[in-house]
Amino acid sequence: MNIKIIGSGSYIPTEVVSNIHFSEHTFLNEDGTPFPHSNEIIAQKFREITGIEERRYISDNLNTSDVATIAAKNAIADSKIDPETLDYIIVAHNFGDVKKGAIQGDMLPSLASKVKYNLRIKNPKCVAYDMLFGCPGWLESFIQAQAFIKAGMAKKCLVIGAEALSRVVDPHDRDSMIYSDGAGATVVAATDDKGGILAHESASYTFDEANYLFFGKSNNNTHNPDVRYIKMHGRKIYEFALREVPKGMATCLENSGVNINQIKKILIHQANEKMDEAILQRFYKLYKMDVPADIMPMSIHKLGNSSVATIPTLYDLLIKGNLENHRLQSGDIILFASVGAGMNINAMVYQV
């Protein structure tokens, strides 16, 4: 028995937000003082570092659970299963449903329960729960789904990553330009087909690193300090990711028994183009190799950083041939890797 993705789906929001959108923003330092550079210079440097040219936001009438449902429906249709046969629905997110203009997240009931309701699944033994694990949440949910199936507790699991970060960003913080919205979903099942999950690795670094990403007040001191927004210590995250993620990827690869030359593609959480490129360079340096051409497909240029949704969306685009110059075929081996709030990291070697 092998455990594989038998169907995938995604939802890419319709609202395209280019970097020009931020030209009228008033960006401030953490202490509320004016930022010394013009927005034009800020946008230029931002694009050079992150690679982001535009991102997607969900429309005002939608919420995270809505886009999670759309991605789920697409994955179920792709898998050709009866949704009543699902044993688990696991939804990875970070902030719940945050309505447009609201200042409070809604996680009652859980997003997984909302998705199950939206899918009109009657089966009470289809267990629905949420995963809070920062940006690596979808991959960690995939790892949990595998554990349930291996233990005989499940045969089919719906694993979703969905987020609407546009609802929790501080408009006076330059980092707000990184974040976006979206959803990706996969149906994971036991199968007699070859391949599937060959190895995985997870870790949580909290002793010094727990608050590298956090909820904090606006950089604008005139705003209500009790209204919180997503904040990060970017330099610390960058250094942490370059130090720990390549090692986690290498450990995972060694445990899989796969030779590094067998890897066809590496799918890294779409956080920052320069950071992802540096992670790959560090990873291949461990093997005294240069990074192979075209091994890392990217979606961040047009879709931004949608947290838990980046990897499943990237996988869905890739497996369906919707990424230029990138293709996957049955039997190809890929390496997933992610890093995010916690600070958490994970990796998986997977054969298509």
Q: In terms of pLDDT, which residue wins out, 119 or 32? A: 119
CA-based angle 20:42:26, to the nearest 5?
75
pLDDT at residue 16 greater than cutoff 90:
yes
84 shares its domain with 98: yes
The answer to whether residues 15 and 56 touch, using CB atoms and an 8 Å cutoff, is yes
Residues 213, 216, 220, 222: what is their CA dihedral angle, to the nearest 10 degrees? 180
Clarify whether residues 9 and 153 are in a common domain.
yes
Strand blocks (E) in the chain: 2-11, 15-18, 54-57, 88-92, 127-131, 156-164, 181-191, 196-204, 213-216, 229-232, 263-268, 333-340, 344-351
* Mean pLDDT across 167-184: 95
* Of the residues 192, 214, 239, the one at which a domain ends: 192
pLDDT of residue 122: 98
Let me know whether 138 and 236 are in one domain. no
Mean pLDDT of the residues in the chain: 95
Residue holding tokens 């690869």? Answer: 253
Neighbours of 85 (CB within 10 A): 12
pLDDT of residue 325: 87
Burial 100-123 (b: 16+ CB within 10 A, else e): eeeeebbbeebbbbbbbeebebee
Give the domain-ending residue among 164, 192, 220: 192
How far lies 77's CA from each of 106, 139, 319, in Å? Answer: 28, 21, 15
Q: Answer yes or no: do 182 and 62 share one domain.
A: yes
Residues 78 and 155 in one domain: yes
> Residue 46 maps to which CATH number?
3.40.47.10
Examine the domain organization and report whether 119 and 203 are in the same domain: no
- How much is the pLDDT for 102? 86
Domain count, the chain: 2
pTM of the model: 0.95
- Cα torsion through 121, 126, 127, 132, rounded to 10: -60
Are residue 11 and residue 123 in the same domain, yes or no?
yes
Q: Mean pLDDT across the stretch 200-223?
A: 96
Q: Between the CA of residue 4 and those of 20, 188, 219, 244, what are the distances in Å?
A: 41, 6, 45, 27
Verify that 244 and 296 share a domain, yes or no: yes
What are the C-alpha distances in Å from 101 to residues 68, 205, 227, 241? Answer: 20, 34, 12, 33
Determine the average pLDDT of the residues in 26-38: 87
Instruction: Taking residues 153-169, report their average pLDDT.
Output: 97
Q: Are residues 132 and 266 in the same domain?
A: no
When computed from its CA atoms, the radius of gyration of the chain, rounded to whole angstroms, is: 20
Band (pLDDT 50/70/90 cuts) for residue 59 is very high
Average pLDDT over residues 122-145: 98
Same domain, 183 and 205: no
Judged against a pLDDT cut of 90, whether residue 31 lies above it is answered with no
**Mean pLDDT across the stretch 303-325?**
96
Asked if 215 and 134 sit in the same domain, the reply is no
Residue 39 scores a pLDDT above 90: no
Query: How many CB atoms within 10 Å of residue 152?
Result: 8
Last residue of a domain, one of 158, 174, 192: 192
Query: What is the extent of the structural domain holding 281?
Result: 197-351
Same-domain pairing of 134 and 245: no
CA distances from 127 to 72, 123, 158 (A): 15, 9, 10
Tokens of 122: 């009657």
